[in-house]
Structure 1
């Protein structure tokens, strides 16, 4: 009986510690990302569709990013320069807002995709971690119903300062 009570108490302690961990608010990382233009290189050779390898060609895009770490947590606003300066309908396809939680940066945006030979609106989630050299490593997850999810890994490298003709929202107001 004593062993049962000890095991029960241990199980309660483990469950309580996990609940406390889950309830703990996200904290800002030590520093914001370096503002600038980042080239995202997508490795199509490692693409999966619905979890099954389906290699395709590699492609790149340049994304302008600004970031800040206010008390509520780190945030980076970004603009995908391959989209162009404006999108006719909200939400703007080129706009991204990354939020950092436990060293993982994540943003989701609306995006147009080809699905079953027609254009469909879906979502793309970009998630990455920052390497010690300041580059990013992550994945793009594309969802557009009724087609299967597409996952493509990427690395991103800072390639320069934000171009004066690219407007990126203030991360402190995101």
Structure 2
């Protein structure tokens, strides 16, 4: 999952700054990274919030927090500021968490195992009739709806409207003004 603030002319601006004074490029990169870090911190804070069910933490959320970062690139094809939450560190069996936890709510099956409930996803090879049979046999107790915690797009959108675009424009203006002022 990722979002980019695309600026197709990042490479051109970088080349002009480098030709004038490479220190300006370093300063611009640092300023853009600092602005992006404010968004990643907001995403991490959102991930730390308890769900309406009261779940406050867990290895899945810890992995999402650890996988949230920002990069600034001035490459010809990949120029821009990229904010990414990676699911690569998620525990086995939690790969879908990156996608579903970012939803307002999601459904999953609950299986009964003695007194303890165990959640398990169906395999793609399992037919509808096999699922129905497990419902009839009592193995599948119910499908439950759980609240997600939209942590990515909504947080970024909020931060962007708050101040990030203004800050990034300011950083670019500052670098360009430095070129014109010398």
TM-score in same-fold range (> 0.5): no
- Range of TM-score over shorter length: under 0.3
TM-score by length of 2: 0.27
TM-score by length of 1: 0.27
Greater C-alpha radius of gyration: 2
Task: Compare the two structures and name the one with the higher strand fraction.
Answer: 1
